[in-house]
Structure 1
C-alpha cells in the first residue's frame, strides 16, 4: 500500500498556488514591516521617556565609604576609608584578565569645592553603603547640586539650627527669596528691557536729526527721563538683591567640614531619603514644570528650555504661514492653469528634485542671499539710521522661517497637486456648464475639496521643519538668546531677533557640553519634548484636516 504524502499545513487546501496568487505572503511581509517599525518607534519613545523623565525624580542619596588604594591598586593602610555623599548614576561591567569587574558611577555634587563632581568606584572597594535620612540635595542656580547635612541658617534676625525635623525656617526663607527673585526677574524683563528698547530708538533718532537744534533739545529731555528711570530701576534691583544677601545656609559635607552657601543661589532643598512617594511625585512635578517654564543655566546643562520651546513653536508656525499659500498657489498653477507640455514636466522634475537637496544647502542659500542680500537692502532702505549695526542684515527669526519654508515647499506642492489630481474632471465641467467662471469653479469647488490634501502637505512640512537643525545654525538659531522672539513689547513679534530651538539645544547639550555626564539626562528630556511638540503640532493639523474633509465630503 502506497504511503500517503503528508500535506504542508502552511498551504491551504485546493490549488497550492492560490495562497501565493492571492498575495498573502506580501501581505504578511508588509504587516511584519509595519509591526517592526512600530516596535522600533515604541522602543525609542520608551528610551527617551525612561531616561528623560527619570532625571526629575528625587533619587536617593548615599553615604559611601570607599577603601583608599595606592597607585598599584593595593589598599592604603594610612587612609583605610574615605566617606562620600553621592547619588548613584549607573553601573557598568568591564572584563579584565583577572575577570569581570563592576564599577559604579556616582555623582558627588559640590562641584565648586574642586573635588570632582563625578567619581567611578570599583564595587570591590566599597566598605559600606547607607542612606542616612539627614542627607539633603540642594538645587542651586549655578555649580549644580550640593550634597550634605543641614546645620544652620543665618538670617538678619540671627542663626537658626536646622535638622530634618526642624527646617520650617529654611522653607520660609526660601519662599521669601523666591518672591524677591520673581520681582527682580519681572523688573529686568519688563521695565529695564523696555527702557533699553526706548534708549536704542532714541539713539537712532539722534543720529538721524543731524544739526536740528529744537529736535536735539527735545531728545535731550527724553534721554534725561530715560536715564532717571533706568537709574531708579537699577536702584530697585540693588535694594532687592541686598535684601536677600544676609541669608546663608550651612552644610556639613562628606569631609566633615562646614560649608556656607548663599541662600540667594538656592532654588530648592530636597530630603530624598525621608520623602514619601507622594512627596517625591510632587517634587518630580515641580522640577518638570521648572524644566518647561524656565530658561537654561550653566551653559545649558541646568535649568529649563522655555525659550527653546517658544522659539521652536513660533518658527514652525511662521514657516507654515509662509509655505502654505506659496505651495498651494504653485500647485494650483501647475495643475489648473499651466499648459501640460515639456516645460511643465521639467518644472515638476525640478520641484521633486528640490525635495532631495541637503538641508545645509538651503542654510547656505538663506545666509548668502536672504540675510546678506535681501536683509542688507532692507537695512539700507528702512533702517539706514541704525547702520552699520544690522537689523535685518543679520540672521534672525524671519530668515530662518523663510529658509525652512523653501526647504519644505516641494512637499506642499506635491501633496497639493496629488489632491487636485484626485478631483474628477466632471465637477469642473459641470460648474462651467452652469455658468460659473473658471475662478469661481476653482475657489468654490476645487480648493475646498482639495483642502485636506493641502493640509497633508502642511503636516509633512511641519514634521520636517520641526526637527531641522543644520540650516538653522546659519540663519538665526543661537545657543542662548537673551530675549524671546515674541513678547508684550511693540511690535510684539520680533522678526529680526535671534532665537533658541529645541533641535539645536539637543545638539548643543549633547555634543558641545563640557560636563557631559550632567547634561546626558537633559538630552533625553529635550529630545522627548521635541518629539511631543512635533506630535502636538501635527495632531492639530490632522484634526483640522479631518474637520475640513468632513465639511466638504458632500461636494
Structure 2
C-alpha cells in the first residue's frame, strides 16, 4: 500500500476539511433559504382560482381556492361540499377545471378567518344599497357606532356591574332603593348597547361564492378587503409591508393560523434578557472560584467533570427540575410567606416568567462557566504578577485586571447561552411558556414587570402551530414565518453580544 508523503497528506487533509465545510455551509444555507421561501408566502398575496369539479354529468361543485393551498386542504374543501365520495372505486375520476377570476375578493375578518367571493352590494339599516366605492363612508358610520358601544360597555356597564357586585357582597336587599337605582341604570344602558349591536348587525356586505350562492359579511368584522388577482406589483409590496407590520405587532388569531406573534416575540426577548442577566454573573463567579481559588485536587476535577456533563443533560430534565424545585418548592414557600391571604390561589407557586428564566439560566450555566474559565486561562501570568507587584490584593487583581481581560470569554458564553435559550421548547412548556397568554408580563400596573405571569415564547408557538396545522397552508406558512422571525431575533441578539465582545477585546486584550 502506497504511503502518502507529508505534503500529500496535508493537501488531502485540507481538501477534506474544505469539502466538509462547504457541505455544511450548503446544508445550512439551504435550510435557511427553505424557511425564508416558505415563510415569505405568509406575507405575499396569493392569487385565487375558481376550481370546478365535475364528478358526474349532473354533479358540479365550484369553490374559490388560493394558489397557495395544498392538495390535502383542497380535497377537504371539496369533500365538505360534495355528497359523492371520490374514494369509491365505482365512481369515475372527477374532471377538475381551474380558471382565474379577476372579480373575486379576499375578505379577511378581524378574527383571522378568510373568505372569497364576488362583490354584489352593501346593505345599511336605511335599506339603501351602496356600491363598493362608497364603502369608506359606511365604514366610518360603523366606526362611530362601535366607539359608542365601547364607551357604553367601558364607562357605564362595567362600572354599574361592579357597583351591583359590591351591593351583593354587602348584603343589600333586593328591594333596596340603592339597588333598584343601579339596576334601572344598568337596564337602560344595556338596552342602549343592544340597540347599537342590532344597528351594527344591519351593516353588511353581500358576496357571491363560487357556487353562485350569496353570503353576507358584517362590515364591523372586515379587516382587509382586496382583489388579489388584479393587484399591481406596488400593491403587493404595500400589502406585504402591512402584513409584516401586523405580524410583529398583533396577537395570534384563528387558532394561531393568522394575525401576529407580538406576545410571543416580546416574551422570547424578555425571557432571554432575564436569563442572560441571571446566568452571566453566576457563571462568571463559578468560573472564577474554580480557576482562581479552588485547589487543584480531585474534588475540583470532579466538579469540572460534572459541569461539563451538565451541558449534555437533556433539556426536558431541567424543565422537570425547574417545575419541581423552583415552582412547587421555592414558589410554594414564597406564597406561604408573602401571599398567604391569596391561598389557595397560588401566585409564585405556578409556572411563570421568572421560573422559566431561572430554569434556562441553570440549563445554560455550564456553557458560561466553561467559556469564562477558558477566558481566564488566557490571561497572561505576567499581568497577575505585575498587579501583585504594585501592591494589589488577589480580589483587586481579579476584579481590575483578570476579569476585564477575560470579558470576551464571558461574552462568548453569553452568546452561546442566548442561542440555546431562544430555541428551547421542552423545559419552557413545563415552567411557564404557553401557546396563548392574554396579558403581557409588562404593563402599566404596579410593579409593572410581573415575573409570576405565564408568557408566550416563539419556540413554543412554533411547536404548537406546527403540531396542529400540518395540513393548513396558511397556518403552516405562519409557522415558517415565525421560524424566520426567531432566526432573526437570535441573529440580532448574538450580533449585539458579538459587538460588545469585540469592543471588550479591542480594549483589554489587544494592548
8 Å CA contact 1:64, 1:126 repeated in 2: no
1:77 to 57, 73, 77: 57
Q: For residues 98-497 of structure 1, what are the structure 2 equivalents within 5 Å?
A: 106=74, 115=81, 125-126=94-95, 128-142=97-111, 144-162=113-131, 167-174=132-139, 244-497=200-453
Deviation readout 1:357-398 (Å, 9 max, x if unpaired): 111111111111110110000001111111110000001001
Who is 1:3 aligned against?
A: none
Contact 1:174 1:267 in 2 (8 A): no
**In the aligned structure 1, how far is the partner of 2:310 from the partner of 2:378?**
24
Q: Secondary structure at the match of 1:488?
A: coil
The alpha carbon displacement at 1:488 in A equals 2.2
Within the candidate set 20, 34, 56, 2:8 is matched to: 20
Q: CA deviation at 1:530?
A: 1.1
Q: CA deviation at 1:254?
A: 1.5
State the Cα deviation string for residues 188-242 of structure 1 (Å, max 9, x = none).
Answer: 9x999x99xx99xx99xxx9xxxxx9xxxxxxxxxx9xx99xx89x979879866
By how many angstroms is 1:55 displaced?
2.0
Q: Distance in 1 between matches of 2:503 and 2:144?
A: 46
CA 542–366 in structure 1, closer or farther in 2 if over 3 Å, else same: same
Give the stretch that moved more between structures: 404-413 or 283-292: 283-292
Deviation at 1:290, TM superposition (A): 1.2
Partner of 1:6: none
Call closer, same or farther: CA 1:58–1:182 in 2, change over 3 Å: farther
Q: Secondary structure at the match of 1:339?
A: coil
- Counterpart CA distance in 2 for 1:547 and 1:181 is 54
Residue 174 of structure 1 and its aligned partner are, at CA, apart by: 4.3
Shift of 1:107: 8.6
Contact 2:52-2:98 within 8 A present in 1 as well: yes
Count of aligned pairs between the two proteins = 485
What 5-or-longer segments of structure 1 have no aligned partner?
1-14, 69-75, 92-102, 208-212, 214-223
CA distance in 2, matches of 1:356, 1:531: 23
Distance verdict in 2 for CA 1:517–1:546, change over 3 Å: same
CA distance in 1, matches of 2:75, 2:147: 30
Whether 1:66 aligns to 2:53 is: yes
Distance 1:42 1:181 in 2: 49
Measure the CA separation in 2 of the matches of 1:312 and 1:184: 35
1:437/1:386 CA distance change after superposition, 3 Å? same
Q: Does 1:35 align with 2:14?
A: no
SS of the residue aligned with 1:485? coil
Cα distance in structure 2, aligned partners of 1:467 and 1:384: 36
Once residues 242 and 347 of structure 1 are traced to their aligned partners in structure 2, the CA distance between those partners, rounded to angstroms, is: 71
Q: How far, CA to CA, are the matches of 2:252 and 2:498 in structure 1?
A: 32
Provide the C-alpha distance between the structure 1 equivalents of 2:252 and 2:143, rounded to a whole number of angstroms: 17
Q: Name 2:174's counterpart in structure 1.
A: none
For residues 394 and 183 of structure 1, the distance between their equivalents in structure 2, rounded to whole angstroms, comes to: 39
C-alpha RMSD over aligned residues: 3.7
Aligned to 1:220: none
The structure where helix makes up a greater share of residues is 2
* SS of 1:58 mapped into structure 2: coil
Q: Distance in 1 between matches of 2:307 and 2:155?
A: 49
Once residues 17 and 312 of structure 2 are traced to their aligned partners in structure 1, the CA distance between those partners, rounded to angstroms, is 26
Of 45, 59, 66, which aligns to 1:87? Answer: 66
- Distance in 2 (CA, whole Å) between partners of 1:294 and 1:345 is 51
C-alpha separation between the residues in 1 aligned to 2:73 and 2:475?
A: 15
User: Mean Cα displacement is larger for which, 540-549 or 384-393?
Assistant: 540-549
Structure 2 residue 463 is matched with structure 1 residue 507: yes
Matches of 1:479 and 1:170, distance apart in 2: 37
Distance of 2:311 and 2:334 partners within structure 1: 29
Q: Distance between the aligned counterparts of 2:198 and 2:336, measured in 1?
A: 46
Deviation at 1:77?
Answer: 2.2
| SS at structure 2 position matched to 1:552 | helix
Distance (Å, rounded) in 1 between the aligned partners of 2:473 and 2:330: 43
Distance in 1 (CA, whole Å) between partners of 2:368 and 2:155 is 43
TM-score, normalisation: structure 2? 0.85
1:256 is paired with a residue of what secondary structure? Answer: coil
**Structure 1 range deviating more: 173-182 or 409-418:** 173-182
Q: Which has the higher contact order (CA 8 A, sep 6+)?
A: 2
* 1:475–1:420 Cα change, 3 Å: same
Q: Is the 8 A contact 1:320 1:458 kept in 2?
A: yes
Instruction: Name the stretch that deviates more: 487-496 or 423-432.
Output: 487-496
| CA shift in 2, pair 1:321/1:88, >3 Å | same
For residues 404-434 of structure 1, the C-alpha deviation after alignment (integer angstroms, 9 at most, x for no partner) is 0000000000000000001111110111011
